[in-house]
Structure 1
Amino acid sequence: MPTWQDGESAHALVAARLGVDDRLPACTPWDWRGARGAAVTTGGPTIRALRMVKTPEELSALHGAGEAVDRVHARIAEWLRPGRTEDEIGSDIAAALAEEGHERADFVIVASGPHGASPHHGRSDRVVRAGEPVVVDIGGPAPSGHSSDSTLCNRNGRDWRLPA
């Protein structure tokens, strides 16, 4: 199955029938139905039932992925300093995620200043300035196949003690 990328139209990936989670915005499946003639059903009860019960192995794997990403977030102050670019900081974070046991970093968002208002900014050559907000959103797959996804926001150095 093709992979959908943020910003691309997902309509081409919809088959003749579409089950949706309860949290999907209501307008989305109706747009798909009109574009492709898909029959839309509520997939929430099925998905919820599948997610409710975890084996001890699954719980351990989920905890492991979460603990690894937490260790990376605990080190953010090492890399997040005024005068460095979002990309420099993001590269260090991506390497640390792999060092902590993830297979790779699927995404590392470092969104400083005005970029922090865009939830899927990514990162750029923008230089981080003292005292401004910075959003860091990271995640990727652990060897178990479970993925992490964790977001932290710093404002005026309160969380990572960024010098003002």
Structure 2
Amino acid sequence: MTTDIHRTPVPFVRDDYIERMSGVVEDAVGAGLTGVIVAPGPDLVWLTGYQPTAITERLTMLVLSIDRDPTLVVPTLERPDAESAEGASAVTMVDWADGSDPYPLAGSLLTADGRFGISDSAWAMHLLGLQRARPAASFQSLSDSMPMMRAVKNAGELQRLALAGQAADATYEEIVKLRFAGRRETEVAADLARLLREFGHEQVDFTVVGSGPNGANPHHEAGEREIQAGDAVVLDFGGLMHGYGSDTTRTVVVGEPSAEVQKVHDIVRTAQQTAFEAVRPGVPCQDIDRAARAVITDAGYGDQFIHRTGHGIGVTTHEPPYMVEGEEQPLEPGMCFSIEPGIYLAGRFGVRIEDIVTVTESAGQRFNNTDHTIRIVE
């Protein structure tokens, strides 16, 4: 898939949201559910295009079930915003006023003895209110009952992920032109955030800059450490562009790398490539993890690869499917996820290489295409 980084993707329309909601109802039936209850959060954005300006104590929920049209319950004062969402015309909207009890209204939309999946982001007070209104109904987490709800992307979603990946690549190509030595990690992180926005991101979620020993902490937040000559520096950054995520990691070195840094980098590079080559439809997610892990373990660094190989990405930067031991979900065309093996030597340095990939009809395709060889920076 080729894209122009400055291209505006085709907007999602009513039919896109109808297709998503219909698919969720079909999947819910397959999972033995009567329907699903979607609270404010990524699922609601994906299904309706609606994101409340602030997640408050007021009940907002989308009900999708086999026995009624999609219905969105909103506070009266927030109804105008909900009606302006891209997918608003695809739902029936009902509202409730401050001072009234919303749970009898919301409960009336649920089959009395139904089984419902509910968003993990739902407030406990709202779930308890629904249980009072429908005591014979049962509820279970959507992450348990329908974890792959958003996992398979359509063409419009793939286009957005490709654009986000290209913007992250452009950010990397610019950051390596800047000076690292003598600057604090926070300064480089600020440059990463600035560049992501310059290349089109509306939201920056993370800018990991782990220099020297800090690189051995996979989720190190940029700190005040001054980057020094000879440091390996892990750069992991991403966010949302056109509502879809980017996430890429490269490890650079300030000046010529030591023989050990070069060796470890070569191992991680081989592991990342081996895992990528394992991607194809029907392969269990755990096999991608196994492919990367086998390379690192065989090289003697198995105990220093301390996290899963990958995570899904879409309207959030972390979502199912996960490339981890025990996840037997088969890969399907349209699934998108990271491949990010790493080696972390405590107190010394770390190396990680990460691309976002998608599953095609026969293999994998990268959304990040910057060079995997070790990059020397000043």
Compared with structure 1, are the counterparts of its residues 47 and 17 closer, same or farther at alpha carbon in structure 2 (3 Å cutoff)? closer
Q: Does 1:161 align with 2:376?
A: yes
Code of the residue aligned with 1:148 in structure 2: it is S
Is the 1:94–1:104 contact (alpha carbons within 8 Å) kept by the matching residues of 2? Answer: no
Compared with structure 1, are the counterparts of its residues 114 and 159 closer, same or farther at alpha carbon in structure 2 (3 Å cutoff)? same
Is the 2:205–2:238 contact (alpha carbons within 8 Å) kept by the matching residues of 1? Answer: yes
Is the 1:130–1:162 contact (alpha carbons within 8 Å) kept by the matching residues of 2? Answer: no
Code of the residue aligned with 1:51 in structure 2: it is A
Aligned to 1:98: 197
* Offset at residue 139 of structure 1 (A): 0.8
Compared with structure 1, are the counterparts of its residues 80 and 150 closer, same or farther at alpha carbon in structure 2 (3 Å cutoff)? farther
Aligned to 2:229: 130
Greater relative contact order (Cα < 8 A, sep 6+) = 1
**Percent identical:** 34
Q: What whole-Å deviation, never above 9, does each CA across 1:99-148 have from its counterpart, x for those lacking one?
A: 00001322111110111111221111111011111111111111x21011
Normalised to the residue count of structure 2, the TM-score between the two structures is 0.31
Query: Secondary structure of the equivalent of 1:101?
Result: coil
* Offset at residue 160 of structure 1 (A): 2.6
* Offset at residue 152 of structure 1 (A): 1.3
Query: Secondary structure of the equivalent of 2:156?
Result: helix
Normalised to the residue count of structure 1, the TM-score between the two structures is 0.68
Aligned to 2:148: 48
Query: Secondary structure of the equivalent of 1:91?
Result: helix
Q: Distance in 2 between matches of 1:81 and 1:130?
A: 9
Compared with structure 1, are the counterparts of its residues 123 and 2 closer, same or farther at alpha carbon in structure 2 (3 Å cutoff)? farther
Q: Does 1:17 align with 2:140?
A: yes
* Offset at residue 159 of structure 1 (A): 2.5
Structure showing greater Rg = 2
Query: Secondary structure of the equivalent of 1:161?
Result: strand
Give the structure with the higher percent strand. Answer: 2
Is the 1:65–1:147 contact (alpha carbons within 8 Å) kept by the matching residues of 2? Answer: yes
Any unmatched runs of 5+ in structure 1? 4-9, 21-41
Q: Distance in 1 between matches of 2:149 and 2:184?
A: 44
Q: Distance in 2 between matches of 1:80 and 1:88?
A: 10
Aligned to 2:245: 147
Aligned to 2:157: 58
Aligned-residue RMSD, C-alpha? 2.8
Any unmatched runs of 5+ in structure 2? 1-38, 42-119, 128-138, 258-372
Of 195, 206, 220 in structure 2, the residue corresponding to residue 121 of structure 1 is 220
* Offset at residue 76 of structure 1 (A): 2.2
Aligned to 1:87: 186
Q: Distance in 2 between matches of 1:71 and 1:116?
A: 22
